[in-house]
């Protein structure tokens, strides 16, 4: 490579359009990716002539490459730049898609690594180039550009970095023309490796990559512990759930047995026969005008629509003794006025429905 050639390095995330940009500038075929896999796995230098100047466009892989680690990618970029130390870099283009509504983790990691590779002194030779403006409305794109400049690129812009838009091929040539008018510079990682005789891992970018690897390993350990805890909690949950299901089945079996017993109690024909016998006894006591004890006998009448009626067809209104049999051989009786009787019948009817009572009867004396 001749010393008069100018080097322009293109960097950015995987799939952001670096290879497409170089093809548009050089007019030469550069492999362009259209899926999630990375096409630029190695550094590719494309030579061309722009405005009469021999230019070397350097296509670099992104640090979120799908097939290699950040450390391996940094090793390739740093080694290539160290070998080209005799050729200063006249410009660095960092490509960022305006379609990204926020700076995600991988985007921020790429930007931080880019900063360490360039060094602060080389930022005046950097252009932050936003592309894909035609795929989004103008206002939204401008808002995102302002947010990017104010929140994430403020330090770079203060140090002399420029921010430009890529809409047409003419915009790309404007970027290159701007590089031709400034003095080439050495990147920070070139100075560290050549002047400082540091290995890649000993550079600022290498330290950042190592910290990222250590953090990833730590996060992986935390993830494994969390998954183990979740599995243990799931086993305990399944155990408790099984116990609850067994308890529920026992309760359901007990309830079904209780329901069967209740139905036997309500529909036992012998109880109906016993009530009829009590009715017959009341007829005898009523005709002979003898006193009647409700504990021993029942009044005559019948049930209809949940209410008890006297044999003459009327709801017994006269005052007398009232009693309710909630369970067999359990009788409650009392004396009250007819008005209270009516209210009592309504209340007792509701109580009977709720407690599955056997009977409510009344007798006038």
Shared domain check, 319 and 349? yes
Q: Are residues 106 and 247 in the same domain?
A: no
Residue ranges making up the domain that contains 196: 6-202
Compute the mean pLDDT over every residue in the chain, rounded to the nearest whole number: 72
Q: How far is CA 234 from CA 13, 222, 228, 239, 361, in A?
A: 39, 18, 10, 8, 59
**Alpha-carbon distance 333 to 194, whole Å?**
111
Q: What is the CATH number of the domain that holds 180?
A: 3.40.50.300
Say which DSSP state 109 is in: H
Beta strands, E only, the chain: 6-12, 44-50, 53-59, 89-97, 126-131, 162-165, 302-304, 307-309, 320-327, 330-336, 359-364
- Do 65 and 182 reside in the same domain of the chain? yes
Examine residue 1 and state whether it is found in any structural domain, yes or no.
no
289 and 301: one domain? yes
Strand, coil or helix: 336: strand
For residue 178, what pLDDT is reported?
Answer: 92
Domains of the chain: total: 3
Whether residue 147 sits in one domain with residue 78: yes
- Provide the 10 A C-beta neighbour count for residue 290: 8
Angle, CA of 156, 58 and 99, to the nearest 5°: 55
Sheet containing 320-327: which strands, arranged edge to edge? 330-336, 320-327, 359-364
Determine the Cα–Cα distance for residues 92 and 58; give it in Å rounded to an integer: 9
* pLDDT computed for residue 218 by the predictor: 72
**Are residues 251 and 273 located together in one domain of the fold?**
no
Same domain, 35 and 84: yes
Backbone angles phi, psi at 240, to 5 degrees: -65, -40
Provide the pLDDT for residue 7: 92
Strands (E), 27-104: 44-50, 53-59, 89-97
Both 83 and 185 in a single domain? Answer: yes
| 86 and 165 both lie in a single domain | yes
Q: What dihedral do alpha carbons 97, 103, 107, 110 form, nearest 10°?
A: 110
Question: Which residues of the chain fall short of a pLDDT of 70?
Answer: 1-4, 29-41, 66, 260-365
């Amino acid at each position: 490579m001749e010393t008069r050639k100018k080097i322009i390095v293109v960097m950015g995330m995987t799939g952001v359009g670096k290879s497409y940009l170089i093809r548009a500038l050089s007019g030469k075929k550069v492999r362009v990716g259209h899926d999630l896999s990375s096409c630029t796995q190695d550094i590719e230098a494309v030579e061309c002539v722009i405005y009469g100047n021999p230019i070397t466009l350097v296509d670099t892989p992104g640090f979120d490459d799908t097939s290699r680690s950040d450390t391996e990618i940094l090793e390739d970029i740093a080694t290539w730049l160290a070998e080209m130390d005799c050729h200063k870099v006249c410009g660095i283009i960092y490509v960022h898609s305006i379609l990204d509504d926020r700076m995600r983790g991988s985007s921020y990691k790429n930007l931080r690594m880019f900063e360490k590779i360039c060094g602060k002194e080389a930022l005046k030779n950097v252009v932050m180039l936003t592309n894909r403006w035609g795929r989004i409305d103008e206002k939204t794109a401008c808002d995102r550009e302002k947010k990017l400049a104010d929140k994430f690129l403020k330090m770079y812009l203060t140090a002399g970095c420029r921010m430009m838009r890529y809409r047409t091929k003419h915009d790309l040539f404007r970027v290159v023309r701007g590089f031709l008018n400034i003095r080439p510079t050495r990147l920070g990682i070139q100075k560290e490796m050549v002047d400082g005789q540091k290995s890649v891992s000993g550079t600022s970018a290498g330290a950042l990559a190592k910290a990222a690897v250590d953090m990833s390993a730590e996060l992986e350990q935390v993830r494994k512990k969390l998954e183990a805890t979740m599995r243990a909690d799931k086993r305990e949950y399944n155990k408790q759930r099984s116990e609850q299901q067994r308890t529920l089945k026992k309760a359901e079996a007990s309830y079904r047995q209780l329901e069967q017993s209740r139905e036997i109690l309500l529909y036992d024909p012998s109880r109906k026969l016993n009530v009829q016998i009590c009715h017959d006894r009341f007829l005898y006591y009523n005709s002979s005008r003898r006193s009647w004890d409700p504990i021993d006998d029942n009044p005559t009448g019948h049930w209809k629509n949940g209410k008890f009626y006297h044999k003459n067809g009327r709801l017994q209104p006269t005052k007398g003794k009232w009693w309710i049999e909630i369970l067999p051989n359990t009788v409650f009786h009392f004396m009250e006025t007819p008005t209270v009787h009516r209210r009592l019948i309504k209340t007792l009817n509701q109580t009977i429905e709720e407690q599955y009572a056997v009977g409510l009867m009344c007798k006038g004396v």
